[in-house]
Amino acid sequence: MKKFLILASFLLLSACAGIDNFKFDPVQYSSFVQLKADTNAAAGKCDSPAAIKKYSTKIRDEAAFAKVYVSHRYGAKNLLIATTNLEKMIIDLDERYAKENPTRFYCVTKLENISSGLEMILTILGRME
């Protein structure tokens, strides 16, 4: 499990390293900010599987929005790869909580990896402004 989380983070990092050079888009940036804020809020609820189930569905929807938005931007190939990898981690979290109540360690680790990936994306996108 831990190896998978590290691998997922590595894939996200790899995609972020080559994020495309295009103009700053406030709508796109805002979607990632909202996703990061909700991911951070969820991290504080890892002791409550019911709360995480709600948050995981919410951030899954937000990630889907971000991915669709990015997929329609010309020249955003690498950002789309990073967003797709991020969405996969979020889907995994959501599906896992739909089936069972994972450990607190799983919740914290998964949300930390998602948050780290979002932080990388936001840092790179923020520099384009």
pLDDT tens string 35-81: 999 999 999 999 999 999 999 999 999 999 999 999 998 778 889 99
Residue 15: predicted pLDDT: 46
Tell me if 97 sits within 8 A of 52, measured CB to CB.
Answer: yes
Distance CA 107, CA 12 (A): 18
Tokens 């690498």, residue located: 78
Distance CA 89, CA 10 (A): 12
Residue 17: predicted pLDDT: 46
Q: Considering its fold, how many domains does the chain have in total? A: 1
Residue 77: predicted pLDDT: 87
Q: At what angle do helices 77-99 and 2-17 cross, to 10 degrees?
A: 160
**Full domain range(s) for residue 68:** 2-126
Q: What is the pLDDT of residues 102-129, one digit of tens each?
A: 999 999 999 999 999 999 999 988 887 6
Residue 71: predicted pLDDT: 92
Q: Higher-confidence residue: 1 or 34?
A: 34
Q: What is the pLDDT of residues 1-29, one digit of tens each?
A: 555 555 555 555 454 445 555 688 899 99
